[in-house]
Amino acid sequence: MSDDVRLRPYDPSTDRNALWGLKHAFETTLGAGTGGELKADLYEGKLTEEYRSRWLEWVDRCVADDERCVTLAVEDEPIGYVFVLPERLSFIWDAAVINELYVAPDYRGTGVADELVDAAVDLAREQALPLDRLLLDVDPDNGRAYRFYERCGFEPWGEIVAVEL
């Protein structure tokens, strides 16, 4: 990771727009990168102003538990983030959860994602968890992300299935 990039907690009073920009990029690249046009349209379609407001309010509630739940990678502006669910939500999966990790394309392969994962692992190790695990959902069709998480020591642990409501 470049010396110009540093990690710090998300600050709701100054970082809302930047975090939303990263979240928007996360969702649109996730939808476009796997699952075809239908998935891309679904992901893009949910990114309304109401969704933005509700998501940012949820983020604020999570960081109120622990400011490290959302850690930003910052150069001049935020260029990536990791969002770890707070400890009070650990019974959802009986483990710590990386809800989202995103790094802007120009910074991929520079070590920024590794540093964000390390920050997530550090936070998870401090949580009182039913199972001493940190998990995340990654689409196996997202080969680059899948290989990255394998390199970080993540391995398959079940599979998420879904049904449309």
Dump pLDDT digits (tens) for 99-108: 999 999 999 9
pLDDT at position 45 is 83
Q: How far is the first Cα of the chain from the last one, in angstroms, to the nearest whole number?
A: 42
pLDDT at 42: 80
Could you give the domains of the chain?
A: 6-151 (3.40.630.30)
**Per residue in 38-60, pLDDT tens?**
777 787 888 999 999 999 999 99
pLDDT beneath 50, residues of the chain: none
Whether 87 contacts 13, CB under 8 Å = no
